[in-house]
Structure 1
Amino acid sequence: MNHLRRKITVALLASVFTLQTAVLASAADLTSVRYHSGGEHDRVVFDLSSEPSYQIKASADGREITIDMANVSEKDFKRKPFHSSRIESVKYVLSKGHMLVTLRLKPGLTYKANKLSNPARVFVDILPKTAKASAKPSGTVRRTGSEAEGDILPLAFDGLYTEMAAPGLAKRSYIYWDDAGKVSAYFVEADKDLYTVKPVLARGHVPGLQSTSGISDAQNAVAAVNATYFAGNGDMIGTVKIDGLMAGTTYYTRSAIGFLPDGSSIFGTVAYDGQVTLGDVTQSISGVDAERGVDNLILYNKWYGSRTRTNEFGLEFTVQNGRVTKIQTGNSVIPSNGYVVSVHGKAMDAFAGVRVGDRAVIEQDLGAKWNKAVDIMGAGPRLVQNGRVNVTVAAEQFPSDIRYGRAPRSAVAVLKNGNYLFGVVDGRQADSHGLTLTEWAQLLVKFGARDAINLDGGGSSDLVVGGQVQNSPSDGQERRVGSALILQKK
């Protein structure tokens, strides 16, 4: 009898031990909490070792929500506070196997929650009560009603969140970690059949400076990204052509994107070559719509504004209808249907015999395919060619501050389905360390790029969709830039 009791006791103890082991084995470990503040919502992501059981409770006034995750440990988790324009504070409490995370929200906000099983995570979006957006698992494209219109490249991978901002217009945010830390990147993809890309100048002329969101608002654009490099006064440092008229040049042969009259795009390197003949004398053009330097010949057109704003130490020839119509020393009026040829030093001496009424011939050459382009935005270097990484930074003679290291980056691409892609990656901040040019090119290929060029980066990197800045510019606020690429409805 005692022997039988001992066997039963051992069996019961074994059963209890097995049950405890199973419970312990099923406990989920909270490994990290990630946070991102976007243009339309904040997202808080809880990464776990296995899928947890959870519920969310809201306070009576709706200002606090508590995410209660049952049977959760935090042995590898470091509690990190955060706050934003939508979240006032976060508080963590571990009690009897329950991880309680309480978010205090700003007034007028609500939440949407969801979870994934592979990888295991719970995520909560904080958004205005009037917003129609709903949380979906990372990598899905949310389409309802008319938003299903348009052809968008299907992408689904860990850390990607896609939202249809309009028919044929997809906003994407991609948050991930590499060996160096956290990376935050933002994109907008536009259906080629519904949207066009257009280069624009800050305040509509050179030189000019304006935030990317300001340029977007002025143009009533669907989206905008900062474009080419620029001088402190706003002069373009890149080959720029708008509506068939040059608006900027550079001394280097560098990559550009161009748009032909039929709307198709071209990528490649482009170099500017120009010359002016006044009377019987021909001279090379030093630059277009730029500040005049020593011994320079600068060509000014309507993109420079109403006047040349030059000093009196040169000579300027107003050209209309193939003739010199006026000669003066500086600050000439720029005709809307003509040019001003501004010369200094040796260039001025060469044209010393030119008189009003003399013939004027202006020749500009970008190469056969680029001459046909209506619009061109040059920047560089090339990042992607025919769907493969091809970073041409050395061939395009870029300086070390662009060539090396991780930094905020911007890019424009055409995808393998023909759609347009604007993208930025944040850098120089805790939420994103930035990328090298090669890493940036690799990321663009991951997003389906067929061809892509790099745009101005650093503090200039800025992506705007629907008038809202999507990323976090490294200056802490938007930098004023000289140009942008915008998306417009056809």
Structure 2
Amino acid sequence: MKRDGRRTRAGRSALTVLTAFGVLAGAALTGAAPASGVPEGGTGRRIAPGVTYREFDITAAAGRTHAHLLTVDLGNPHVRVDLLHPGAVAARATVSRLADTAGAVAGVNGDFFDITETQHPGVEATGATVGPAVAGGRVLKAAVPDGQRFGPALPPGTTTREVLGVGTDRRARLDRLSLTGSVTTPGGRLRLGGLNQYALPQNSVGAFTSRWGGVSRARAVCGTDTDRAAPCGTDAYEVTVRGGRVVAGAGRPGSGPIPSGTTVLVGRERGARELRELAVGDPVSVTHGLVAATAKVPYAFAIGGCPVLRDGTPLSGLDDSTSAVRTVAGLRGGGRQMLLLALDGADDSRTGLTIAEEAATMRGLGASDAFNLDGGGSSEMVTRDRGASGVTVRNHPSGGAERPVPNGIGVFSR
């Protein structure tokens, strides 16, 4: 991995956010964005077939900020996007390491995540993300309750189940993925309330599989559906299921790797009481999956975050006062193109954008839909030059160094 410390201004375009919800205008853009997907004054640098990179300045309410933009042509049969992740839901690595390990030609950071547990002394922060995740067509996890979310407030009418995804039809879209599943026991069928997530709904039973990793599952019973900082529940129980039968029970959530073919069920409140009815040797079957609200095809890739632009219109209630370094994904051309934008965190560029300005920026670049990802010290973009053995970090992370993150969006080109 290399850091790109160049800050040359030559050849850059400048974008100006005229209003919180207006299109971008000025020398760079007038009306709709050009077909190249980057501001006028340059066509971007080709990273790989179907993938271009461009950097430019944006002048917003708080001042000038520097942006890095990837344009990804999903209509190109040699191009695809997929989830970058370290192999476990509850694990983190830098975007450069994730991209290099996966062989991606480019990438950005992803979903908001459980980064600290200062409200719960003695409980380990899991590093797991807020929203659903699908990698290579495999479901990794479901979403935590809305009140357990890390990150800025959700826009009205949205939920932690919001995703940006690419279906098996190679079209990107914004959607909502909800958990479906059950636990069948000798006493009846229980509704499954969670899958590999750091927080379970109150009174529910959640499932943890080998994809979770080895981090403690204790955080799953902390907080409430409306208050992330609420104390950890005292009524909890855990059951280990292997080969379709209960092999162990415990009075508190445990830790350590979960072997393949094994499911650990964690219950809180009523869910805990239901699991206590099970005995070693009892037959138990667990089913789980994610159901899309709109897509008619399966998702090959999906990542959590929150929508800020739909059908060319910014969502209502977007924050227009807090400027920050941000990462955002945009869609255009009916989902055949994906725009990935990461702001720079260098001292002279750290003014950032509000979420409202972020939506306006993506609309000015021609996106019909846009999806806000984690920002601040997590914001990062990497690209790999042709023939290079590793990626280069294109923006300056605002913390001064790359922050390990649980997932990201990887761009791949054959």
TM-score of the superposition, structure 2-length normalised? 0.71
Output the CA distance in 1 between the equivalents of 2:129 and 2:98: 16
User: What displacement does 1:486 show?
Assistant: 0.4
In structure 1, runs of 5+ residues without a counterpart are 1-37, 48-117, 120-137, 140-151, 395-401
Matched, 1:328 2:249: yes
> Which of 41, 60, 66 is residue 184 of structure 1 equivalent to?
66
The 3-state SS of whatever aligns with 2:44 is strand
Contact 2:183 2:284 in 1 (8 A): no
Residue of structure 2 equivalent to 1:43: 8
User: What displacement does 1:422 show?
Assistant: 1.3
The 3-state SS of whatever aligns with 1:354 is coil
The alpha-carbon distance between structure 1 residues 475 and 219, as it changes in their structure 2 partners (threshold 3 A), is: same
Residue of structure 2 equivalent to 1:419: 337
Matched, 1:228 2:111: yes
Contact 2:62 2:352 in 1 (8 A): no
User: What displacement does 1:46 show?
Assistant: 9.9
What is the identity, as a one-letter code, of the residue corresponding to 1:223?
A
Contact 2:90 2:215 in 1 (8 A): no
What is the identity, as a one-letter code, of the residue corresponding to 2:145?
Y
The Cα RMSD (Å) is 3.4
The alpha-carbon distance between structure 1 residues 392 and 257, as it changes in their structure 2 partners (threshold 3 A), is: farther
Q: Residue by residue, what CA displacement relative to the aligned partner does 1:112-161 show, whole Å, maximum 9, x if unpaired? A: xxxxxx98xxxxxxxxxxxxxxxxxx99xxxxxxxxxxxx9425646767
Contact 1:317 1:325 in 2 (8 A): yes
Residue of structure 2 equivalent to 1:446: 364
> Which of 143, 157, 168 is residue 249 of structure 1 equivalent to?
143
User: What displacement does 1:445 show?
Assistant: 1.9
What is the identity, as a one-letter code, of the residue corresponding to 2:36?
P
User: What displacement does 1:259 show?
Assistant: 2.5
Residue of structure 1 equivalent to 2:310: 385
Greater length-normalized contact order (CA 8 Å, ≥ 6 residues apart): 2
User: What displacement does 1:273 show?
Assistant: 4.8
Residue of structure 1 equivalent to 2:352: 434
User: What displacement does 1:246 show?
Assistant: 3.3
Contact 1:199 1:483 in 2 (8 A): yes
> Which of 271, 277, 299 is residue 184 of structure 2 equivalent to?
277
Contact 1:197 1:488 in 2 (8 A): yes
User: What displacement does 1:214 show?
Assistant: 1.6
TM-score of the superposition, structure 1-length normalised? 0.61
Matched, 1:317 2:239: yes
Q: Residue by residue, what CA displacement relative to the aligned partner does 1:63-117 show, whole Å, maximum 9, x if unpaired? A: xxxxxxxxxxxxxxxxxxxxxxxxxxxxxxxxxxxxxxxxxxxxxxxxxxxxxxx
What is the identity, as a one-letter code, of the residue corresponding to 1:488?
F
Residue of structure 1 equivalent to 2:130: 237
> Which of 302, 310, 319 is residue 210 of structure 2 equivalent to?
302
Contact 2:87 2:211 in 1 (8 A): yes
What is the identity, as a one-letter code, of the residue corresponding to 1:385?
R
Larger radius of gyration: 1
Q: Counting helix residues as a fraction of each chain, which structure ranks higher? A: 1
> Which of 33, 44, 57 is residue 162 of structure 1 equivalent to?
44
User: What displacement does 1:274 show?
Assistant: 4.3
> Which of 244, 253, 258 is residue 165 of structure 2 equivalent to?
258
Output the CA distance in 1 between the equivalents of 2:257 and 2:205: 17
Output the CA distance in 2 between the equivalents of 1:390 and 1:184: 22
Contact 2:185 2:282 in 1 (8 A): no
The alpha-carbon distance between structure 1 residues 155 and 224, as it changes in their structure 2 partners (threshold 3 A), is: closer
- Give the % identical residues: 21
How many residue pairs match? The answer is 342
Matched, 1:474 2:398: yes
Contact 1:281 1:350 in 2 (8 A): no
User: What displacement does 1:458 show?
Assistant: 1.5
